[in-house]
């Protein structure tokens, strides 16, 4: 729900006015108003899912002369410009820590009138933005970044399928709003491809796997779960991902160069060189994942192995993630005053409060969709054969990936024939599903090429 912030209603109303520019950048009182910001007239565009309302990043890419590379400016929503750190509202937001997106509804970190309205980068409406500008050479290597705050008016909020259609060459469709931005999309994709290639040379691990979508239909005990694959938009998603990685890596380098403590996402593990690359087969994904460790949030700047970066400070989702809000505030304070808002010790103390909240929210984000997936399998019954791929096996058990459903299931080794090995395609019958207990069992397995046995009605 969106009522948790009501005890702080006056503060939320004030922040909403500042985000819309009704008071803040055009003359609120000196104790409450952010500084008046210069106007940045770049025609930024954003790309998100069609249902996204909390738009916190947009971009504009320019090509440098003589094919020397590109100049990318990433514009980020800027709630940190006026955020009341230490206030009761701030403590409530810190406790929430991150937005959670679930099939039954979204749970936004910020009050919705701030995160999905007043501070969201809605096309055509002036908004404060925090900009990260990076030059990338023709080989995909980034240079130093420039940081600045401004007021901007986003040119367009595009959806992934529309952007992908343009990148696929469908630029003549008048109903596609992305067609008007075809040149910008192609420039962004060229930069993203070159930047990803550079990261891969440095040892990056890129996982490409389908992300099944869940839809709930009906209410109460009559709810049915629909599981489906969204329309793919690989180029558009890669474009956005690489620009966001570029901006967060640039901020981390800026922090190191200027002695500004930041919250870093780290994954300090030695990954074998042969694991670098783009992986999409289920057995390869499982093998590579076993070589990695989960990333962690730390004040100390350490490498991020999968991204192949020496340091990485997330900043591109300040409406959705509290660490990004903190990093944005830290940079803005340094730009305005010449010193960071928090020193390393204060940032570590803040992280001590933040980490348990992020862990709890992460568990909800992982396990709640899994509950709905298991309910979907139970509703389908135990007479359905599901295509899968063996990803791991030993003397006791074998693990099967169901790529189209985004689920791993495990069965006793004796259910599989003697040829069972990672990469073997099979079909499995599932049953004994208990969604509340996170239980699902493989009842029967046949090789994919084998004729399916008759099942009792």
Residues 166-202: tens digit of each pLDDT: 999 876 666 899 999 999 999 999 999 999 999 999 9
Rounded to the nearest 10 degrees, how much is the dihedral formed by the CA atoms of 47, 110, 105, 58?
0
Q: Specify the DSSP class assigned to residue 454.
A: P
Dist CA 366 CA 51 (whole Å): 20
pLDDT at 173: 62
Rounded-to-10 torsion of CA 317, 367, 441, 436: -160
> What is the pLDDT at residue 32?
47
Question: What average pLDDT score do residues 35-52 get?
Answer: 94
* Banded model confidence at residue 25, pLDDT cuts 50, 70, 90: very low
- Structure letter (DSSP) for residue 22: S
Two structure tokens written together for 236 = 């558009």
How far apart, in whole angstroms, are the C-alpha atoms of residue 324 and residue 314? 5
Does residue 247 contact residue 74 with C-beta atoms inside 8 Å?
yes
Mean pLDDT of the chain: 94
Q: Looking at the DSSP assignment, which residues form a beta bridge with residue 442?
A: 430
In this structure, the dihedral spanned by the alpha carbons of residues 379, 384, 389 and 392, taken in order and rounded to 10 degrees, is 70
Q: pLDDT tens digits, residue range 114-131?
A: 999 999 999 999 999 999
pLDDT at residue 424, as a whole number: 96
Q: Are the C-beta atoms of 272 and 246 separated by less than 8 Å? A: no
CA–CA distance, 338 with 347 (Å, rounded to integer): 17
pLDDT exceeds 90 at position 295? yes
Instruction: Note the pLDDT of residue 177.
Output: 92
pLDDT score, position 14: 96
Number of H helices, E strands in the chain: 9, 20
Q: What is the mean pLDDT of residues 221-230?
A: 92
Question: 294 pLDDT exceeds 80?
Answer: yes
β partners of residue 128: 151
Q: Give bridge partners of residue 107 from the DSSP assignment.
A: 100
Residue 72 forms beta bridges with which residues? Answer: 61, 134
Task: Look up residue 59 and give its two tokens.
Answer: 């971009």
H-state helical runs in 180-294: 182-201, 234-258, 282-291
Q: Is the pLDDT of residue 28 over 50?
A: no
- At 369-399, the pLDDT tens digits run 999 999 999 999 999 999 999 999 999 999 9
Length of the chain: 457
Q: What is the DSSP string of 409-433?
A: EEEEGGGS-TT--TT-EEEEEEEEE
DSSP letter (8 states) at residue 117:
I
| Torsion angle (degrees, nearest 10) of CA 339, 344, 350, 356 | 140
More reliable by pLDDT, 163 or 23: 163
d(CA 305, CA 268): 6
**Which two tokens mark 363?**
């568990």
Residues of the chain with pLDDT > 70, as a percent, come to: 96
- Percent of the chain topping pLDDT 90: 89
Q: Read off the tokens for 74.
A: 């990433």
Q: Compute the average pLDDT of residues 84-94.
A: 97
User: CB neighbours (10 Å) of residue 63?
Assistant: 15
Q: What is the pLDDT of residues 321-373, one digit of tens each?
A: 999 999 999 999 999 999 999 999 999 999 999 999 999 999 999 999 999 99
Residue carrying structure tokens 């979204």: 106
- CB of 435 within 8 A of CB of 375? yes
pLDDT tops 80 at residue 435: yes
Q: Please, which pLDDT band fits residue 31 given cuts at 50, 70 and 90?
A: very low
Give the pLDDT mean for 106-111.
Answer: 96
Looking at the DSSP assignment, which residues form a beta bridge with residue 150? Answer: 129
pLDDT digits (tens, 9 = 90+) for 235-255: 999 999 999 999 999 999 999
CA angle centred on 386, ends 382 and 389, rounded to 5°: 135
Q: Burial of 291 by CB count in 10 Å (0-12 exposed, 13-18 middle, 19+ buried)?
A: middle
CB 118 within 8 A of CB 15: yes
- Check residue 210 and give its pLDDT: 85
Handedness of CA 313, 147, 357, 348 (dihedral sign): positive
**Residues 6 or more apart whose Cβ sits within 8 Å of residue 155:** 43, 44, 45, 123, 181
CA atoms of 69 and 432, how far apart (whole Å): 56
């Amino acid at each position: 729900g969106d009522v948790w912030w009501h005890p702080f209603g006056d503060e939320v109303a004030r922040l909403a006015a500042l985000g819309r520019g009704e008071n803040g950048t055009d003359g609120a009182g000196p104790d409450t108003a952010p500084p008046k910001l210069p106007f940045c007239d770049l025609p930024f565009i954003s790309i998100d899912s069609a249902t996204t309302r909390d738009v916190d990043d947009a971009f504009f890419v320019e090509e440098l002369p003589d094919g020397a590379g590109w100049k990318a400016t990433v514009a980020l929503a800027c709630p940190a410009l006026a955020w009341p750190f230490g206030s009761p509202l701030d403590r409530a937001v810190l406790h929430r820590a991150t937005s959670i997106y679930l099939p039954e509804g979204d749970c936004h970190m910020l009050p919705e009138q701030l995160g999905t309205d007043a501070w969201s980068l809605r096309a055509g409406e002036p908004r404060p933005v925090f900009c990260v500008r990076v030059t990338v050479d023709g080989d995909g290597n980034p240079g130093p970044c420039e940081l600045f705050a401004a007021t901007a008016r986003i040119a367009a909020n595009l959806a992934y399928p529309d952007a992908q259609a343009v990148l696929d060459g469908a630029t003549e469709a008048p109903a596609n709003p992305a067609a008007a931005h075809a040149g910008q999309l192609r420039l962004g994709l060229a930069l993203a491809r070159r930047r990803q290639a550079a990261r891969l040379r440095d040892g990056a691990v890129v996982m490409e796997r389908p992300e099944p979508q869940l839809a709930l239909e009906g209410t109460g005990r009559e709810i049915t779960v629909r599981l489906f694959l969204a329309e793919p938009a690989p180029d558009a998603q890669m474009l956005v991902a690489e620009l966001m990685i570029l901006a967060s890596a640039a901020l981390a380098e800026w922090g190191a160069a200027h002695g500004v403590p930041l919250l870093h996402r780290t994954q300090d593990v030695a990954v074998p060189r042969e694991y670098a690359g783009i992986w999409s087969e289920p057995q390869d994904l499982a093998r590579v994942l076993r070589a990695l460790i989960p990333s962690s949030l730390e004040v100390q700047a350490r490498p991020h192995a999968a991204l192949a970066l020496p340091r990485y400070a997330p900043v591109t989702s300040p409406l959705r993630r509290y660490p990004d809000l903190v990093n944005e505030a830290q940079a803005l304070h340094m730009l305005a005053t010449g010193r960071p808002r928090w020193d390393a010790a204060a940032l570590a103390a803040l992280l001590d409060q933040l980490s348990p909240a992020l862990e709890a929210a992460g568990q909800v984000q992982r396990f709640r969709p899994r509950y709905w997936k298991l309910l979907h399998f139970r509703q389908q019954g135990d007479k359905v054969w599901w295509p899968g791929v063996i990803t791991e096996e030993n003397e006791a058990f074998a693990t099967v990936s169901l790529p189209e459903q985004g689920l791993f299931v495990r069965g006793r080794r004796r259910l599989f024939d003697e040829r069972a090995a990672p990469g073997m395609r099979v079909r499995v019958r599932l049953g004994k599903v208990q969604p509340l207990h996170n239980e699902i069992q493989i009842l029967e397995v046949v090789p994919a090429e084998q004729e399916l046995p008759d099942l009792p009605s």
